[in-house]
Amino acid sequence: MSVNNEEKNIEIVESEVLETELSEKEKESVSVKSMEIPVSELLGEKTGVEEKKEPSEREKELSEKGKKSSEKKKFKLSSGALSKVFSLSNILLGLRLCVIVAAVVFALAAVNYFTSPVIKGNEEEKGNVARSALVPDATSFSLYEGDIPESGRNVSEIYVAEQNGDTIAYCVGITTAGFGGDIDLVVAIRVDMSILGIKVISHSETVGIGASALEEDAALLPQFSGLPASSVDNVTAVSGATVTSNAVKSCVEEAAVVVNALVKGADSE
Amino acid sequence: MKKINKQEMKKIFLDGIVYKNPIIVQLLGMCSALAVSTSVINGLGMGASVTAVLVFSNVIISLLRNVIPNQIRIASYIVVIAGLVTVVDMVLKAYIPSLSASLGLFIPLIVVNCIILARAESFASKNPVLASAADGLAMGIGYTAAMVVVSAIREIIGNGTILGFDIFGGNYSPALLIILPPGGFLVLGGVIALFQYVRSKTEKKEGEK
């Protein structure tokens, strides 16, 4: 893109920041028109590009306007300037842009109508597959409808695994910060506080290092199977992937605290 | 409507794939090129998505080129491109979720991929629909070809596989650097250098003839 275009784009942002007195409706057409005002006028500085097309009266008002946006200066736009800003041609330009946007939005809504149920179905399927793999002897899973205990700050959802009506385990969906971004896990813990296993739903760990540590057959995740929740500390981290390993361990610990609270709550009922 | 002849078509395709290859010659859209080209499957998937967006955006903008006023043309192009990319993103999430997961953030980033806006501004806004569609397709093929070359090198050296198949047997310990971002720069730079070398040699030969 040419330098000219880039400057114009910056100008649109600048003038939107400086508009303090105009209403929302008017802002749209103003930002279109203000494409022709150089940044130098708005900021009162010299940037070296001259594009003087506006009468000097308007420039003076705008350089007043061009103080820092934190200073709430009350100023009056003369009726002459207003009528130039909201001239018919500019309003028509704004309207034509609106028409194009409306057409695109309509097309997007149409596509979304068809794809959104499929996407939801995919996600549910993924969750079901993960949960069934973690708790193979469960006959049904149901979403836990109650309040998630306060100790579960990173917990996104909990599924109750039932076998013929008896709760046998909890599948805790938990998210935490890994090395390269968030790691989404599902931790399955039995009601006797032994860990069934962990499934990684998504992560952004480094290929070959953190990502390899999170693989099903790597050294980290199998250590958790059958482990009592109290001895998570003894799990050995993967060398070179300490942050990733510790993130997984902290997730499991938090899930264990939450499941403990749920089991105690269920017992006292 | 101006009819396009075979000669012009040939020029468009040669430009897109070789002489004005968006990654290797024009050096556009490098961010996604570097980040996604870690395996041939990803490179092909990304290339296909960019090609789809390029063709459709060029067609739509070419159809609207006399209707969009000059002052709001960039804003309009961006709206159209963003809409198209969102459609591609939704379709991938729904019907090819594995590809969507591995390409991740870089599908929405196609919106700011300079190739799309550059072709819209420099070609589609000034040329009839068929030529614009051909240009979009040619640039997309050029992008995909460059991506596949870079991805293949990075996957073979950095992972020991090609298209997911082990080629060195299980014991190959990969040069991880090649899969990580620095490797992307190194491999891409090498490919561009090689391309320029070959090109200067062939031009020299043709000059001597």
pLDDT in tens, A197-207: 899 888 878 77
Residues of B in contact with A5 (CB under 8 A): 74
pLDDT band at B39 (very low <50, low <70, confident <90, very high): confident
Residue A181 has pLDDT above 70, yes or no: yes
Please name the residue that has the structure tokens 């050296």. B157
What pLDDT score does A74 carry?
60
Lowest average pLDDT, out of A72-76, A216-220, B72-76, goes to: A72-76
Q: Which two tokens stand for residue B170?
A: 């299980």
What pLDDT score does A12 carry?
43
Residue B77 has pLDDT above 90, yes or no: yes
Q: Specify whether the CB–CB gap between B23 and B140 falls below 8 A.
A: no
Which of B71, B121, B172 to mutate against chain A (most A CBs within 10 Å)?
Answer: B71
Name which of A171, A163, A174 is nearest A190 in CA terms.
A171
Cα–Cα distance between B147 and B32 in angstroms, integer?
A: 10
User: What are the boundaries of each domain within chain A?
Assistant: 135-268
Q: Which two tokens stand for residue B151?
A: 């991805």
Other CB atoms within 10 A of residue B21 CB: 22
Helix/strand/coil for A154: coil
For the residues A144-173, what does the mean pLDDT come to? 85
Residues of B in contact with A112 (CB under 8 A): 90
Q: Does A204 touch chain B (CB under 8 A)?
A: yes
Which of the pair, B170 or B73, is modelled with greater confidence?
Answer: B73
For the residues B10-18, what does the mean pLDDT come to? 89
Residue B79 has pLDDT above 90, yes or no: yes
Q: Does A201 touch chain B (CB under 8 A)?
A: no
User: What are the boundaries of each domain within chain B?
Assistant: 11-204
What pLDDT score does A76 carry?
64
For the residues B15-31, what does the mean pLDDT come to? 90
Helix/strand/coil for B41: helix
Cα B82 → chain centroid: 17
Lowest average pLDDT, out of A10-24, A157-171, A175-189, goes to: A10-24
Name the residue facing B93 among A35, A119, A207 (closest C-beta): A119
Q: Is the ipTM of this complex over 0.85?
A: no
Cα–Cα distance between B182 and A96 in angstroms, integer?
A: 45
Distance from the Cα of B79 to chain A's closest Cα (Å) equals: 7
The pLDDT mean for chain A works out to 75
Helix/strand/coil for A236: coil
Count of positions (residues) in chain A: 269
Other CB atoms within 10 A of residue A250 CB: 15
Other CB atoms within 10 A of residue A241 CB: 25
Q: Check A32 against B72: CB less than 8 A apart.
A: yes
Q: How many CB pairs under 8 A join A and B?
A: 71
What pLDDT score does B59 carry?
95
Cα–Cα distance between B181 and B13 in angstroms, integer?
A: 31
Q: Which two tokens stand for residue A157?
A: 């959802």
Q: Specify whether the CB–CB gap between A240 and A209 falls below 8 A.
A: yes
Query: Which residues are CB-neighbours of A52 under 8 A, at least 6 positions away?
Result: A38, A59
Q: Check B79 against A104: CB less than 8 A apart.
A: yes
Which of B64, B81, B93 to mutate against chain A (most A CBs within 10 Å)?
Answer: B93
Q: Check A96 against B93: CB less than 8 A apart.
A: no
Provide the H-helix boundaries in A135-185: none
Name which of A216, A212, A182, A211 is nearest A199 in CA terms.
A216
Q: Which residue is closest to B57 within chain A, CA to CA?
A: A104
Q: Which residue is closest to B100 within chain A, CA to CA?
A: A119
Cα–Cα distance between A187 and B111 in angstroms, integer?
A: 36
Distance from the Cα of B147 to chain A's closest Cα (Å) equals: 19
Q: What is the greatest pairwise CA distance in chain A?
A: 83
Helix/strand/coil for A197: strand
Residue A61 has pLDDT above 80, yes or no: no
For the residues A96-102, what does the mean pLDDT come to? 92
Residue A139 has pLDDT above 50, yes or no: yes
Residue B191 has pLDDT above 70, yes or no: yes
The pLDDT mean for chain B works out to 88
Q: What is the greatest pairwise CA distance in chain B?
A: 61
For the residues B93-108, what does the mean pLDDT come to? 85
Residues of B in contact with A203 (CB under 8 A): none
> What are A198's strand-pairing partners?
A187
B107-138 per-position pLDDT tens digit: 888 888 889 999 999 999 899 999 999 999 99
Q: Specify whether the CB–CB gap between B195 and B24 falls below 8 A.
A: yes
Cα–Cα distance between A86 and A33 in angstroms, integer?
A: 8
Please name the residue that has the structure tokens 């499934």. A199
Cα B83 → chain centroid: 19
Q: Specify whether the CB–CB gap between A179 and A244 falls below 8 A.
A: yes
Residue A44 has pLDDT above 50, yes or no: no
Q: Check A111 against B91: CB less than 8 A apart.
A: yes
For the residues A136-160, what does the mean pLDDT come to? 85
Please name the residue that has the structure tokens 């896990």. A185
Q: Does A115 touch chain B (CB under 8 A)?
A: yes
Q: Does A5 touch chain B (CB under 8 A)?
A: yes
Helix/strand/coil for B168: coil
